[in-house]
A and B are shown apart, each in its own frame.
Chain A
Amino acid sequence: MLVRVTHWITVISFVALLVTGVEILISHPRFYWGEVGNSLTRPLFQIPIPSSRATVPTGYAYVLPDQNGWSRYLHFEAAWALVLTGLVYVIFGLWTRHFRKNLFPASEDRTWPRFRSIMAKHLRLAPPDEADSRSYNALQRITYLLVIFVLFPLVIWSGLAMSSGFNAAVPWAVSFLGGRQSARTVHFLVSIALVLFFVIHVAMVALSGFVTRTREMITDRAGRQGRI
């Protein structure tokens, strides 16, 4: 129950963060490495889109409308919702051994040959067998663990490292990432990784029956017979 509630709050927050994140990004679609970077310094890379600021050299003759006011408000509000929900989920998951039971790869899967065969089966697009519909396979488990314990913590950390108030209090949080502009670049790249996960996750749900799977994740009714 708690897993499903936190899942959907996370979905709502993630979509809000994604939309507002894109809005904030277009006010300066250039990325740098190190502590500082601006329109006068060489970018590490640049997204080839117009900007919402006339001061950014994009090569486009027009300037998009500025949406940063509400975008920043909503971005941080959604971030709070995501972080607090994530905390509840992780504490609950440890408490009920959800991670160990459902996400940590089963002991028989924790060998290289076994992992390779799961991988191969996945790459051959072989139809799932009986066991797959009852619980997550090793590949799914590792992906979920990576998303929960690597990508989300990284995106939160790199986001906080950009906050002037936060990095005044915790300077190593930003220096460890190589500087404020590095933190911004890491934040962007990890967000891309999360979006990739999101797209593949939804595609997998769609492949295995979007309506049924989504209903299960909301009501838990059909439950237990299959998991994505």
Chain B
Amino acid sequence: MSNVSRRKFLMAGLAASAGISGLGVAAGLAQRYALVPPDSGGIYGPGETLTYAAQRVLARHSLAREFPRSMISKVPFANSIPPLNDAFRRLQEGVFADWRLSVDGMVARPGSYSLGDLRRFPTRNQITEVVCEEGWSYIAEWIGTPVLEVLKDSGILPQARYLIYFSIDPDWWESIDMVDAQHPQTLLTWAMNDGDLPVAFGGPLRLRVPRQLGYKSVKFVTRLTVTDSTKGFVSALDPKHPNGGYAWYAGI
């Protein structure tokens, strides 16, 4: 082995070990600052982690674009919804007077709220775009109560990391991190454009996450769970999951 190739070999070794320890340090930092999404395992994990970490580092507090009233879509597109179950129909007959949103998990005061209770919190209206992962989109005005108000009222415990939210449909839920859960535009939406939120758009209550794709905005929401782990409620690669194998983070 000549001197030159030995030097090259040593340099390559040094570079490789620097690279590996660099990756190790990066992984440690990512864990510490909650930059690793729940679906970071598997062959798609690296790409998913890069996307999530990049957006959390560079755009943690940015606001989804809001539009002028003139840009509201004349005919918004209501996507297909799963068949409504008996529990939903009974509540619908009572004009949703008995609809309740329960809050449990890592909160100081678990409880439940009627739609009237939700309307008494400070509310927010915003004209934002609904974007489906399929590619289509529309703009509507959404009126509701920021999830943050409800979480503040329930008292989030410091170990909380995720919010899981459930539809009245037993096979439908989603989860987001506390950054999005406490984001001012993340809305428990009960009105749209000029009236109550129609059933086709998720009425009487839809949790809208405008910085993520439409599939994170669950319709007919009845329960919020604050937790430190999405175990059992994320398996995004599991085809049985309501997402059918879709990425957990949908900010892209």
Contacts and interface: CB of A to CB of B under 8 A. Distances in A.
Interface of A: 24-25, 27-28, 30, 35-41, 53-56, 66, 68-70, 72-74, 76-81, 162-169, 171, 174, 180-181, 184
Nearest to B51: A76
Given A80-B51, A180-B129, A168 B136 contact: no
Nearest to B64: A168
Contacts, number: 124
B80 A69 contact: no
A153 to B, nearest CB: 18
A203 to B, nearest CB: 31
Contacts of A68: 133-134, 246
B212 A165 contact: yes
A168 B62 contact: yes
Interface stretch (B26-34, B41-49, B195-203): B41-49
Contact of A77 (B46, B133, B211): B46
Given A24-B135, A76-B252, A40 B59 contact: no
A39 B77 contact: yes
Nearest to B50: A80
B65 A73 contact: no
A24 B252 CA distance: 13
A73 B244 CA distance: 12
B137 A38 contact: yes
Contacts of A25: 135
B79 A55 contact: yes
Interface string B116-144: 00000000000001011111111100000
Contacts of B237: 69
Given A165-B212, A169-B58, A36 B252 contact: no
Given A80-B46, A80-B47, 17 more contacts: A28-B136, A35-B67, A38-B73, A38-B138, A53-B134, A72-B246, A77-B46, A163-B251, A164-B64, A164-B210, A165-B55, A166-B59, A166-B251, A168-B59, A168-B62, A180-B129, A184-B135
Contacts of A55: 79-80
B44 A74 contact: yes
Which of B73, B75, B76 has most A Cβ within 10 Å? B73
